[in-house]
Structures are given as structure tokens and as C-alpha cells.
Structure 1
């Protein structure tokens, strides 16, 4: 029923029509929220839906932020369980991930509309360990940092980026960060905690006497403490960004509905619902019911957002560290490899083979490695010869393990006195061989070690090689060529162009004895995003 009011003002008439409480048709808003915040939003949506004056109907569904970020970036392999007018992630870093995906797919990159909730990221240890260890610091020898998987968990991603920034710039910074990554999650691949709560339940004293600490959102600590786990937050002066739960609009014409829902979330009743699941309001102020359990008060610090290139450098280095190695070593045995390495009393061939053998000894048993040699006339007209096909180092053969077979092959390598350098044909054949056996759970690459330049008469030229590599390189199944050149006769420019065609890199080392140090110092082929900047001793 309507009430009509007639008002006469200075001879004019104005008619106002007002309705009784309620509305004829409610506006709708569908929300896709990260599981960490979805229960609280569902409760708030229930209040809004029951409020006749709100004239708003809100539906909340849930999807992990990693999946939602892919969908926001236009990746069709990421399927959300329902249509959404708004998506709520647990961290704004996922917006950078989505934007990078959008650059590949041609989608419009998402933009932050507003914050919904927050949860500071804190460092946690098990009670009974490190009671006198003091405050956590990135480079403290008293602590052993643990991370959740930064490719799936925002708190792991936030901590990874913060650690990269703390390591500093240049070679020393990169080496320091590589050291942090190696210590962050020791053991075999697959040993990384998928989420904060599973990581917290697995915290144990470190074998080397250090205190293990895991970086997690306050919400995860709150949950585990309520479950009775013996955990405690570690004081720290390090600045780490909180989870900020950004909302992204995907539906047109829904901004007004979103603002009305956000007003309900930001109300005292909404803040109470957030606190019931261990979260703070968007402004970061501590929630009494949460702080009473975790012991964390104050306002969540707003650390500066990292530049996207810093985020992706850190993520790529992490990925390289935790992917397995699948490598074909292509070793020059041309006549110039018989020249002496100054101060060693040994030939380049002997030193190179010995250093590669020593470097491979540092790789785990699940690494897959093969060895070819190349010069000219190695197998009829072919300039290369397979000494050992790619196989798991710890795998058994009729004559022992693959590792032992490689050591024998390398120990028996001899330079060919009259051999030239059939570099280009050999690189292309090796690239194709690795590509044919590509494994998605490993880094697949050809490691080229040479002291010369291509001089194979009748072989392909540089232009033909580059054209073939660019045509056959598949970014979805990447195989990289990484070149190590040593000696005064090496054509580093050609190595750089060849490796660059596959997204790899080439760099010059002072002498072959640095090869093992490259394996040792940073697992250079796995950790360093750009081998030219890897620490070389």
C-alpha cells in the first residue's frame, strides 16, 4: 500500500509517494569468496536477505583464491562453481597473478574494488622450542624459516616476496635468497605444506638445533590454538603484508549492490561475524575475540605492495627450486679441449668431465640426467654421440645405477684431436631429444659446455638453428638451452642468441673448475632465474 502526501508550498504542488517497509523486487548480488572468509560472508548475507528494508538478495559461493585468480585472468581451465558478480580473494597479490594471466589470454585485468576483511601474517613456532631465541629476523641463525606453497597459498606468497626483498639486490641478494629457499623447506619435493593449518600441525624441532618458524595468517593460528595445539607467535620486527581480502567486480551494473553488502560486512554485526571465523575487519584493527586467543593485538601493518616483477621473480625461483631436474649435458670434445687449464696440469677435457661428474653428485636421486658428447664425425656424419640416455640418477641398470654409469662415461671422455666443433647441429638434436621426453613436473633443459665456436662444414648455420628453435619451442612445455662457455675461443654471443631463443641464457666462466661450484652454490640451473647472474664462486 502506498501513502500519497499532497503539500502546498507557495502556490505550488508537490506529490511524494512513499512505500511501506519492504520492496516489491530485491536486487541480487552473487559473490564468489575465498573459503577463509566465505562462512562469515554467508552469515552476513543471511542477515541482509532477511532485512526487508535492504531490498538486496546476496548469494555466497566459495572457491580457492588461486582458482579464482586464474578465472579472473581469463584462463578457461579454471572453472568456478557458479556465476559471480563479485569475487573475493584472500590477497591482492592474486590480482597480479590474474593480470599476468590476462596478458596471455587477452582478458581485461581485474581491479580491486574494496577490502572486505584482513588477517596479519605472523611467525609461529611450536611451544617448547626456542623459548629464548628472541625475535625472528630473516637472517637470524637461531631460526629455520618454513613456508607454505606460495603457488597455492597467499601467506606463503606474501612471505616469499618479503624474504626476497630482505635478501637485497645483486648477486649477493640472489645468493642469499637462494639460501633462504633451500632452508625454508628441506627434504624431497612434495614436502611443502599446502596450507597454513597443515603446516602448523607438522612443526617439529629442527635437526640442526634451529627453531622452525612458519609464516601463517593470524586466522590459522587462531584455529589451531582453539583446537588445542601447543603453538605460539614469535615476536618479529620484520614487515610482512597482511591478507587484505580484496573484492573484484565482474558483473556490470552491480557496484551499488556491492557497496550495500560491504556496508553490512563493515558494520559492528559484520565485524562480529568476521571475528567468529578468526578474521579482523578490513581496517586491520584487532578483534577482541581473536586477539584473546592469539595474543596478537594492534593494527595489521600495511607493508608496501611489491612490484609485480619482484613477485614473479620470487615465484619463479621458488618453482625452480621445487621442480625436479631433467637435464641432457652436451659436452664439447673437440680438439681444443686438449689444451691445458692454467695452473691445473690437466686438460680442459679432463677438468670439465671431472667437474660435471662432481656437480652431478650434488643432484638428488630423482633427478634425470643424460650425457652426449659432440665434435665432428662422432657417429658417421653426425657431430654428436649419446653416451648415456636421460634416466633417473638413482635408477638401476644392468651395470649399476644411472649415476654410476654417468660417472664412468664422464671418466672415459677423451677429446678428439682432429675434431672440429659441430655445435649447432648438436644443440638442435639435443633440444629435440629433451623435448620428445618432456616432463611437466621437472625443469627440462640442455646444458651445453663448450670452449669454442661452431665450425662444422656441411652443418646448419646459426640462422637455421635459431629459426628451428623459435619454431619448435613450446612455452606450455618449455625446454631451455643453457650455455656455459669457457676459454678465449668461445663464441659467447652465439651461445647467448641460441639459448635466448628458448628462454634460456648463456654465460662465460673463467675456467671449467667453476662448474661444480655453480652446482653447489645455488643449484644454479634450478634456482637462478638468469644464469648470467648466478653466483659463480
Structure 2
């Protein structure tokens, strides 16, 4: 095909056939949507692209594109070729301006509500697109195709790789990280999963792999995360620089340098290209499948783009998939989406048989799996101190639809017990329950004092055991009403007066109703007192969760907002675990940014 012609299927070379039928349908629909909004069908676009009689210098179409720093040089090379060779869209030149920007920063920018200063975004992974949609609530962020692939693996310096049996020895994700961590055998590092798709995908894969090895999988994953958190780098761009610089440093006790790190294949390729043959990394590809960075080509402000800009964006996507561009991408260590693994790329990155670099990749984790993993990571990196306050009013005995006859309290207890597995022995958690006049004139009871989960408790147990038993013993109080306001104030006073520095402090409040105690303070008084208790230097956000359709969502949100916290509503108590992790992640990151 000619370099200036549009392929019959504009997305064929860049959507990635191996991603499954759901993704193919998504890409096909997204591509159709973009073309339709652009004001013409693929045939119309093709006809325009074949019009070369006009000078393209007269009316170049500008396209502002932001790309992940690893893929930005290759994308810029293609943009430069488009200008140099006067490749056109509808007879006009394409002036594609490429800016390198970390994907997590771009995703975070959507929370500001400001209009993006770019039309096309190529992050390193689709998870950032999903996050941008979640935070902006915008359906106009549309993925039209995929530019490249790069599997996530474990890269080791030669001496460490040899100690792990490379290349003959193969491992699952869980086996690999446990082998590296065993007795400090290998100093293992990663980029911060909060800022790195490679780090987050690897951690999610480790968790899934560990879960398949027994009921203690969550605890083992948290322990590995804790280990990684001690040698974490701020971003992908920094993690390779933490590796030992030579064999002697790798074999000796230079604690400042890692011997193995989680990296994409492309990052290992780039590292090896800049180091001597004897110092190149060796890659371990997990035998239970490597998650992939998939470099989605995303239309960002498509609704505000002109017809010329929309068509130029689709034309540039096609250009990124033509043979010359594929060679440019492969020359920088990227795989072609939907195509068999490129042996030379894997070999140059440090892959060698029998490492399964050509095997099928793992299914991408779901948004919920990633959310849970990131919540667990946030908890692991910064230990938490939580006072959990659970509604025990009579309405908690109501049956949850679709639960097989279980009550709200039963489903809530199961969700809390499951959430407990995500916390480490260093985390501090306590438990209150509340109704009306539950303890004399008080609407609340302190069931388990807030303490380290690893601390010993009576009977040879730990605080974790005691708390788990207390969760399981929670029962609704027959005829009890919801003593929400007095309980909230009392719990918040105690949490602020016992603030623990260096930890994420919070009150987690679960209620299925509005305040029903006529003798309590008013909501306005509660909000005023909460605001007075709040100290920005000692933040204790209230995470208030309205459980069930009868709960007052606006009330819990207003109360939580007074503390710098957040209010949520779940109709199914089984979602409580995920919401708690989501809230801790979001509020913990907000505190870190502050």
C-alpha cells in the first residue's frame, strides 16, 4: 500500500487482536464513533486522503498529542516523517506536536475540570484512560486503537539472574517474587504502583497468582508489597536507575542498589541498549502470564475538535500502524499490537528460551482488581490507624436482595472481615457499634480498642483475631434506632485526640439510615464541632458510608466533608470492602499531595 493511502480498515494494525472480543468490540465502536463525529464515513476520509493535488504547506492541520515518555520519541519520529514527507489528511499536511508527559500526571489532571490542552493522548496503559473517565465523568474520552504493546516482567542484573536460575528456571508471579525476596536473596525494587502502570499491573498479577496458592494469598501479597515499598522509586523513569551498575556491586552488599526490578520489556530493551553486553539485564517472564502495557490511542477532546482535526487524528493513528512506523517502534523495543512476539525485541531486552516471552499474555486485570490492589498498596506503604464504627440499629436486620436471605448486618460483617485481610500487622484498627441508648444513655459502645493488628491479645490471640471475632459477633439491636450524630462526634473526638503520626488516621463510619435520636445534637451543630476538631497538621478524615437505599447519602457526605473526608453510598453491603480501600487510596494520596 502507498504511504499516503488509508488502509481499508483504519484500526486493523493498531487495535490488538489478542486482547479478546470485548476489547475488539470496544475499539470498533470507538473508531466508528470518532469517524462518525468527524462528519464522514471511512470512505469519505479515504477519498480525502487521496487528494494530493493541493500544496499541503498552505493549510496544515495542527494536532496536539501527549504521550507517555517511553513511547513519545517513537511517536515524535513518526510525526516528523509526516511533516517531512508531506503526508496528508484530506489534502492538508498534519502538524502533529508531541509532548512527553507521565501518564499518571495526565490522568490526575482530569480531576481539575480544566479543558485539556491536547487532543490525543497515548498513555502507557488503558488503566489511566479508565481512571480519567472515572474522575472526569466524561464519556468523550474514547480509545480508538492501540499503538504498541510491552509485557511487564522482572528484570535482574546478571549475578542475581543466575542465582534465580535464569533462563532455565521459570516461575509464576508469586513464586518469582517470593524467590527473590526469600532471606533477602535479591534486593527487589519497583516503581510506585500509584504512579506506574507497570508497578500496578505487576502487583495485581502477584496478588492474583498468590490467591491461587491458598487462603493466605492476600496476607502474602501484602507482605511482598511491604517489601517492595521499602525500595520503591517514584516513577518508571527512575526505577532502572536504581539497579546495581556492575557485577561487583550486584554481588556485594551495596544496599543502595537493587539487583532486580519490575520493568516493561521495552524499558529493559532501552536499558540494555545503553549498557555494555556483559551488563545487560536478564528478563524473567512469569509462566502464568505477563500483563501488558498497551499504549491506547485516545481521543480526549473529540467533541470540541473540528472535522479536520478529527480526521487528522484518525489518519495519524493509521500512520502509526504502517510498516515504517512499526519498524521505528520495534527499533525502540516495542511489540506490534495483536502480532506474535518479536524474538529480536525480546532477546535484546534480556529474554531467552525457555523463558515464556512468546506465550499468551495474561488477561488484563479488571478495574475493580486494580482498585483493590492500589488500595492495598496505599495501606501497605503508609500504615493505617482506623476506628471502625458500625450501625447496629434494628434496620440492619433487613434482608439484602439477591443475597440468599442474608441481612444487611450479615453481609456487612463478611465485607469487613474480608477487608481486614488487606491490612498488615503494623496497621491499627478498632471497633465501635451504635444504635440508640446502647450503653446507658450513650448511643455507642467501644467494642475493641484501636491497636496494632499484630499486638498480642488474651488467650494467645492477636488484635487481628480479636477484631475478626468482634466483627463476626455484631448483631442488630431489635427496635434500636440510628443514633448517628452523637456517635460520630464521640468517635471523631477520640480519633483526633489519639492521633498517630506517620500513619493514615481515619474514622470509618457505616450506617443504613439517617439520625433518629431526637435527643442528640443537630446536624448543623455536629458539622460545626467536627470542623473545630479538624487540624490540617493532623488530618483525620471521616469515611462515611451510607449502606442501602434507605440511608441518607447527602447527610453522610456533608458530615464527612466537614473533616476533609468523603461520603459514599453502597446499595449492596458486599461493596463495603472495595469502597473502604478506594477511600483510603484517594484520601491518602490527597494528603500526600498536600
Of the three residues 170, 173, 184, the one matched with 1:135 is 170
Confirm whether residue 98 of structure 1 aligns to residue 152 of structure 2.
no
Q: Is the 8 A contact 1:323 1:441 kept in 2?
A: yes
Q: Is the 8 A contact 2:148 2:336 kept in 1?
A: yes
Q: Give the structure with the larger strand fraction.
A: 1
Distance 2:442 2:218 in 1: 43
Confirm whether residue 59 of structure 1 aligns to residue 97 of structure 2.
yes
* Equivalent in the alignment of 1:259: 314
Confirm whether residue 216 of structure 1 aligns to residue 263 of structure 2.
yes
Measured after TM superposition, the shift of residue 179 of structure 1 is 1.6
* Equivalent in the alignment of 1:273: 328
Query: RCO higher in 1 or 2 (8 Å CA, sep ≥ 6)?
Result: 2
* Equivalent in the alignment of 1:316: 375
Measured after TM superposition, the shift of residue 423 of structure 1 is 8.6
Q: Is the 8 A contact 1:325 1:443 kept in 2?
A: yes
Measured after TM superposition, the shift of residue 158 of structure 1 is 1.5
Q: Is the 8 A contact 2:505 2:540 kept in 1?
A: no
1:8-407 map, 5 Å: 19=53, 22=56, 24-54=58-88, 55-71=93-109, 74-76=110-112, 83-103=117-137, 107-108=138-139, 110-129=141-160, 130-132=163-165, 134-140=169-175, 141-144=178-181, 147-168=190-211, 175-186=216-227, 191-196=231-236, 198-202=238-242, 213-228=260-275, 229=279, 231-249=281-299, 250-251=301-302, 252=305, 253=307, 254-286=309-341, 290-296=345-351, 301-327=360-386
Distance 1:116 1:194 in 2: 25
Measured after TM superposition, the shift of residue 233 of structure 1 is 0.9
Measured after TM superposition, the shift of residue 295 of structure 1 is 3.7
Of the three residues 444, 455, 461, the one matched with 2:506 is 444
Distance 1:234 1:444 in 2: 40
Distance 1:363 1:177 in 2: 13
Q: Is the 8 A contact 1:185 1:191 kept in 2?
A: no
Q: Is the 8 A contact 1:137 1:238 kept in 2?
A: yes
Measured after TM superposition, the shift of residue 31 of structure 1 is 0.9
Measured after TM superposition, the shift of residue 123 of structure 1 is 1.9
Q: Is the 8 A contact 1:206 1:212 kept in 2?
A: no
Distance 1:273 1:384 in 2: 66
Structure 2 portions without partners, runs of 5+: 1-50, 182-187, 244-249, 390-423, 453-481, 511-516, 557-566, 571-578, 585-594
Measured after TM superposition, the shift of residue 430 of structure 1 is 3.6
Q: Is the 8 A contact 2:69 2:102 kept in 1?
A: yes
Distance 1:295 1:63 in 2: 27
Q: Is the 8 A contact 1:117 1:281 kept in 2?
A: yes
Confirm whether residue 433 of structure 1 aligns to residue 493 of structure 2.
yes
Distance 2:494 2:331 in 1: 53
Measured after TM superposition, the shift of residue 218 of structure 1 is 0.8
Q: Give the structure with the larger helix fraction.
A: 2
What secondary structure does 2:58 align onto? coil
Larger of the two Rg values belongs to structure: 1
* Equivalent in the alignment of 2:184: none
Structure 1 length-normalised TM: 0.58
Distance 1:527 1:119 in 2: 29
Q: Is the 8 A contact 1:329 1:447 kept in 2?
A: yes
Q: For residues 180 and 260 of structure 1, do their structure 2 counterparts lie closer, same or farther at Cα, with a shift above 3 Å needed?
A: same
Q: Is the 8 A contact 2:485 2:526 kept in 1?
A: no
Measured after TM superposition, the shift of residue 66 of structure 1 is 1.1
Measured after TM superposition, the shift of residue 168 of structure 1 is 4.0
Measured after TM superposition, the shift of residue 53 of structure 1 is 4.7
Q: Is the 8 A contact 1:34 1:62 kept in 2?
A: yes
Aligned length: 406
Distance 2:508 2:319 in 1: 57
Distance 1:368 1:286 in 2: 47
What secondary structure does 1:121 align onto? strand
Q: For residues 31 and 467 of structure 1, do their structure 2 counterparts lie closer, same or farther at Cα, with a shift above 3 Å needed?
A: same
Q: For residues 20 and 325 of structure 1, do their structure 2 counterparts lie closer, same or farther at Cα, with a shift above 3 Å needed?
A: closer
What secondary structure does 2:159 align onto? coil
Distance 1:137 1:127 in 2: 20
Q: Is the 8 A contact 1:121 1:243 kept in 2?
A: yes
Measured after TM superposition, the shift of residue 59 of structure 1 is 1.1
Q: Is the 8 A contact 1:66 1:152 kept in 2?
A: yes
